[in-house]
A and B are shown apart, each in its own frame.
Chain A
Amino acid sequence: MDPADLLQLLSEQQDRRLRVIENLLRGRRTVSTLYWGLRYDLLPLLNLAKPLDRGALDAPAQLLAQQGLIAGDSAEGVVHLTERGQTAATSTTYYRPITRQNWVNVDLIAARQRLLLAVQVASQYAHSTSRYYPLATDLTTRQAVRRWFHRVKGPDLATNLREALVSSLRQLPAETAAVVTDQFTGYQQPGYTVSQLAQSTNRSAWEIQLMHFDGVAQIALAAQEAQHPLHDLFQPLWAVPVSRSAQQTLQAVEAGGDLARVARVRKVKLSTVREHLLEAAIMLPATEFPYDQVLSETIRQRFAAAVTGPIDSWQYMELPAAMRDELDFFYFRLYAIWRMKRGDSE
């Protein structure tokens, strides 16, 4: 990630974004990281750069600091955009993905691997070549594409796939459609590398990857249609973005039962039940979480009376001691999530 990419993700006020960005990219899904990811609208970054090293954003942050675009303590991860930084961030025509709200629901990395191999296989098949170098990829991808190919191969495959891809890519900006097309490898077309595309479009490598993700997500959305040629290949990659154990806890709570009882039945600690619920509340739409059951009207009213101002300024420790004795930090956090899900960002 270049300094210019990081600049786009930082903020003038919220000065604790750096570590959250790093943890999200690397797929460290602690409740705290997820909560702040939601708070800062950074959750689409989750899992997008798992091989990133710890501290990999420190160097670009230092460069931004040297240029006077951010201030603060980059070693501590506390940095904010300066006025110049804010101007620089908004003045560029940085790429803004249009499908990002869907990203947490689909495994984009795996989907991209499958798409690339499927296009290569279909392209070579369309030109009746069977002897070629397949893209080097992992076993799961190879097996999935192999199974898919044996089901769908036939005289119409190339036409169907081409039409499906064209129709999805047409919904993206033309530049994105071109960048997504040019990554494909196939018959007599090796495709272009990320850095070659970055060079020819005058964008950063990360922007090119964002365009790829945008293209993959757009195609995956269309492939939810059962008739789509990639339906079988992509469908398993859509998933509720909540861990399996958190889903089980959520089901147990929804089936009725207070949290302490769920903890006993599931043989986990009460604190674990609460973490699971927070994870689910953060990752799911408001309608899919039993707020009325877990966060009663009475509790909401008490918080509404006790906290004021922007959510970021709320402090659990500033609540009256009696209220803290009665209502765990869990409820405080859940109330903030509920407010955000309702669209109260202030």
Chain B
Amino acid sequence: METLEASLEKVFGFNTFRSGQKAALTALESNQDTLAILPTGAGKTLIYQLYGYRHPGCVLIVSPLLSLMNDQVDRMRISGFKRVAAITSQTGYVERQVILEHLNELQFLFLSPEMLAQPQMLARVGQLDLSLLVIDEAHCIVQWGPDFRPEYLLLGAIRTKLNQPLTLMLTATAGKVTRQEISKQLRLQPQVVTESVDRPNIFLDVENVANEAEKQSRLQALVAKLQLPGVIYFSSKQQATDTALWLQQTTGVQAAAYHAGLSGEDRFRIQQQFMTGQLDLICATSAFGMGIDKNDVRFVIHYHLPADLESYAQEIGRAGRDGQPSIAILLYAPGDEQLPLALGQSNRPDEATITRYYAHPQSFAADDPVIHLLDFYRGHGISQAAVTQLFTRREKERNRALANMLAYARERRCLRQVWLQAFDETSPAHSAACCAPGEVALDLDQLELLRQPTSETENAPTDWETRLNRLF
């Protein structure tokens, strides 16, 4: 068999691997289940693409994000892999039939977890010769699983039904607890390939504000002087939409909102506008980010407190992929922890609800997501006591994760140390170029992140015929 480097050269035209890629591939080549924890932008997908190229059979990729999957399929087709398909709940009936008819010919198959959990689909996949099972965004087993995507919890059982194929788990961030939980859920003992999550070129900053009004004016002031482009994360679609409009009108920055409520067509346009520099600022929910590779994002601001440091690390990781100075700013007002707390609780049934549900399951409406979740567990034969215990444990984990996030927001000495500690890493010694906790003033000039006055390249307005001509 040709060397990994030779394959890399042939398929992608590169002659060296990025760090982490080779270690993961080497482990897989020696038939070791592998958990690869590599930062966003490290080229995780190359690992399974190259493995799929080197081995006969089909690589099955389970991914939680529908938009990300279609994006990935497009990308692979562009880079020359033709036998690629994705089936999700959004795949139309006809298209699904076409894919199913050609299932045996596929080299790469992307499935959403709920699609794979369907018995018929699982039976079809079971007949395939799987060279590799890939669990993408594997942290979702822990972060999202019990609350939002119960199907991820079935992956362990599903993997057993598929005769325990060689498995690659991919994630950008996973602390010790998350790693253990992933291994436990999937019932395996993987080799862990990891790189430091630290991103020395991202300056960390927490801005304390007294209340919502002060937060908004602080945000406005920051956007007015920070070097662009940037991303601001929100917990609500409405707030992302409203703020994009407000910032565009008051600061003159070209801004747009991006969230799961947009049509696929509009998501495409916003992404492309941001990539081509027509937009300088995206006001996003967590739906934005995965699958975007824009290297020169200079700042990531969080308007709301994230639920845990792992999501935070993932989201600030969109900044500074080009290695240039960048900044991650968290705006914090006292009481901000109430929102993630409430969001967590609204997704979780309390003990009384669980008891009432198990007494009379038929009398509950299944369109309530919480009831849907309980239907799911009950349907899989999980007892009331076990479900209660599951949610109690889950709540404790969430509270612990939120407490860590809050500790970051309230840290007085070194933010990087708190962050890296959550991933069992030791931080380099704190310096002025490292971070600015809440009470420390932010000096954007010193950080070379002040917006430079740009020469006005105001394009003369053109009529529609000229714009149409330009297309062709």
Mark A residues whose CB is within 8 Å of B: 116, 119, 122-123, 126, 131-140, 158-159, 161-162, 165-166, 169, 174, 177-178, 181-182, 184-196, 199
In the complex, B13 has a CB within 8 A of chain A = no
Q: Which residues of B contact A131 (CB under 8 A)?
A: 78
Q: Which residues of A contact B469 (CB under 8 A)?
A: 162
In the complex, B98 has a CB within 8 A of chain A = yes
Q: Which residues of B contact A123 (CB under 8 A)?
A: 471-472
Q: Which among A136, A140, A169 has the highest number of chain B CB atoms within 10 Å?
A: A136
Nearest to A126 among chain B residues (CB) is: B472
- Residues B265 and A136 in contact, CB atoms below 8 Å apart: yes
Known: A135-B268, A181-B464. A188 touches B472 (CB 8 A): no
Contact of A116 among B98, B265, B276 (CB under 8 A): B265
Q: Which residues of A contact B413 (CB under 8 A)?
A: none
CB distance from B87 to the nearest CB of A (A): 12
Nearest to B79 among chain A residues (CB) is: A131
- Residues B95 and A139 in contact, CB atoms below 8 Å apart: yes
**Per-residue interface assignment for chain B, residues 72 to 103, with 1 indicating a CB less than 8 Å from any chain A CB and 0 otherwise:** 00110010000000000000101100100000
- Residues B464 and A174 in contact, CB atoms below 8 Å apart: yes
CB distance from B468 to the nearest CB of A (A): 5
Cα–Cα distance between A165 and B465 once the two chains are bound (Å): 10
Mark B residues whose CB is within 8 Å of A: 70-71, 74-75, 78, 92, 94-95, 98, 245, 256, 262, 264-273, 275-276, 278, 463-465, 467-472
Known: A161-B472, A178-B464. A190 touches B269 (CB 8 A): yes
Q: Which among B272, B276, B278, B463 has the highest number of chain A CB atoms within 10 Å?
A: B272
Nearest to A131 among chain B residues (CB) is: B78
Cα–Cα distance between A318 and B469 once the two chains are bound (Å): 63
Cα–Cα distance between A177 and B464 once the two chains are bound (Å): 7
Q: Which among A184, A192, A193, A194 has the highest number of chain B CB atoms within 10 Å?
A: A193
- Residues A136 and B264 in contact, CB atoms below 8 Å apart: yes
CB distance from A113 to the nearest CB of B (A): 9
CB distance from B390 to the nearest CB of A (A): 33
Nearest to A159 among chain B residues (CB) is: B472
Cα–Cα distance between A193 and B267 once the two chains are bound (Å): 9
Cα–Cα distance between A133 and B275 once the two chains are bound (Å): 12
- Residues A193 and B256 in contact, CB atoms below 8 Å apart: yes
Cα–Cα distance between A153 and B270 once the two chains are bound (Å): 29
CB distance from A132 to the nearest CB of B (A): 8
Q: Which residues of B contact A140 (CB under 8 A)?
A: 92, 94
Looking at chain B's contact residues, is the secondary structure mostly helix, strand, loop, or mixed? helix
- Residues A182 and B264 in contact, CB atoms below 8 Å apart: no
- Residues B464 and A191 in contact, CB atoms below 8 Å apart: no
Nearest to B70 among chain A residues (CB) is: A136
Contact of A188 among B94, B265, B276 (CB under 8 A): B276
CB distance from A136 to the nearest CB of B (A): 4
CB distance from A303 to the nearest CB of B (A): 46
Nearest to A162 among chain B residues (CB) is: B472
- Residues B464 and A169 in contact, CB atoms below 8 Å apart: yes
Cα–Cα distance between A122 and B94 once the two chains are bound (Å): 26
With A123-B472, A135-B268 already in contact, 17 other A-B pairs whose C-beta atoms are closer than 8 Å: A122-B472, A126-B471, A132-B78, A136-B70, A136-B267, A137-B264, A138-B95, A139-B98, A140-B92, A140-B94, A158-B472, A162-B469, A185-B268, A185-B269, A190-B273, A192-B269, A196-B256
Q: Which residues of B contact A188 (CB under 8 A)?
A: 276
- Residues A162 and B256 in contact, CB atoms below 8 Å apart: no
Q: Which residues of A contact B468 (CB under 8 A)?
A: 162, 165-166, 169, 181, 184
- Residues B464 and A133 in contact, CB atoms below 8 Å apart: no
Cα–Cα distance between A182 and B468 once the two chains are bound (Å): 8
Cα–Cα distance between A159 and B471 once the two chains are bound (Å): 11
CB distance from A54 to the nearest CB of B (A): 13
Contact of A135 among B265, B464, B472 (CB under 8 A): B265
Q: Which residues of B contact A135 (CB under 8 A)?
A: 265, 268
Cα–Cα distance between A17 and B273 once the two chains are bound (Å): 40
Cα–Cα distance between A159 and B472 once the two chains are bound (Å): 7
Cα–Cα distance between A181 and B466 once the two chains are bound (Å): 10
Contact of A193 among B71, B75, B94, B262 (CB under 8 A): B262
Cα–Cα distance between A136 and B70 once the two chains are bound (Å): 8
CB distance from B8 to the nearest CB of A (A): 19
CB distance from A299 to the nearest CB of B (A): 45
Known: A174-B464, A177-B464. A189 touches B78 (CB 8 A): no
Known: A123-B471, A159-B472, A190-B278. A166 touches B268 (CB 8 A): no
Q: Which residues of B contact A134 (CB under 8 A)?
A: 74
- Residues A193 and B266 in contact, CB atoms below 8 Å apart: yes
Cα–Cα distance between A137 and B92 once the two chains are bound (Å): 11
Contact of B272 among A116, A133, A139, A178 (CB under 8 A): A133
CB distance from A199 to the nearest CB of B (A): 7
CB distance from B470 to the nearest CB of A (A): 7
Cα–Cα distance between A281 and B367 once the two chains are bound (Å): 40
Cα–Cα distance between A234 and B122 once the two chains are bound (Å): 39
Show 15 residue pairs from A and B whose CB-CB distance is below 8 angstroms, ordered by the A residue.
Answer: A122-B472, A133-B71, A133-B78, A133-B268, A137-B265, A139-B98, A140-B92, A140-B94, A169-B468, A185-B272, A190-B273, A190-B276, A191-B269, A193-B266, A193-B269
Contact of A182 among B70, B71, B272, B467 (CB under 8 A): B467
- Residues A162 and B471 in contact, CB atoms below 8 Å apart: yes
Cα–Cα distance between A199 and B266 once the two chains are bound (Å): 14
Q: Which residues of A contact B75 (CB under 8 A)?
A: 133
- Residues A138 and B92 in contact, CB atoms below 8 Å apart: yes
CB distance from B418 to the nearest CB of A (A): 38
Q: Which among B256, B276, B470, B472 has the highest number of chain A CB atoms within 10 Å?
A: B472
- Residues B272 and A190 in contact, CB atoms below 8 Å apart: yes
Q: Which residues of B contact A195 (CB under 8 A)?
A: 266
CB distance from A128 to the nearest CB of B (A): 12
Cα–Cα distance between A167 and B270 once the two chains are bound (Å): 29
Q: Which among B264, B268, B464, B468 has the highest number of chain A CB atoms within 10 Å?
A: B468
Cα–Cα distance between A186 and B469 once the two chains are bound (Å): 11
Nearest to B91 among chain A residues (CB) is: A139
CB distance from A292 to the nearest CB of B (A): 42
Nearest to B99 among chain A residues (CB) is: A139
Cα–Cα distance between A194 and B467 once the two chains are bound (Å): 17
Q: Which residues of B contact A161 (CB under 8 A)?
A: 472
Cα–Cα distance between A169 and B467 once the two chains are bound (Å): 13
Cα–Cα distance between A166 and B465 once the two chains are bound (Å): 7
CB distance from A12 to the nearest CB of B (A): 34
Q: Which residues of A contact B256 (CB under 8 A)?
A: 193, 196
Q: Which residues of A contact B464 (CB under 8 A)?
A: 169, 174, 177-178, 181-182
Q: Which residues of A contact B273 (CB under 8 A)?
A: 190
Q: Which residues of B contact A159 (CB under 8 A)?
A: 472
- Residues B266 and A186 in contact, CB atoms below 8 Å apart: no
CB-CB nearest 8 A-B residue pairs: A190-B272, A139-B95, A158-B472, A178-B464, A193-B266, A186-B471, A181-B464, A123-B471
Nearest to A185 among chain B residues (CB) is: B269
Q: Which residues of A contact B471 (CB under 8 A)?
A: 119, 123, 126, 162, 184, 186-187, 189
Nearest to B98 among chain A residues (CB) is: A139
Cα–Cα distance between A316 and B266 once the two chains are bound (Å): 49
- Residues A199 and B245 in contact, CB atoms below 8 Å apart: yes
Nearest to B67 among chain A residues (CB) is: A136
Cα–Cα distance between A267 and B7 once the two chains are bound (Å): 65
Q: Which residues of A contact B71 (CB under 8 A)?
A: 133
Cα–Cα distance between A199 and B75 once the two chains are bound (Å): 32
Cα–Cα distance between A134 and B265 once the two chains are bound (Å): 10
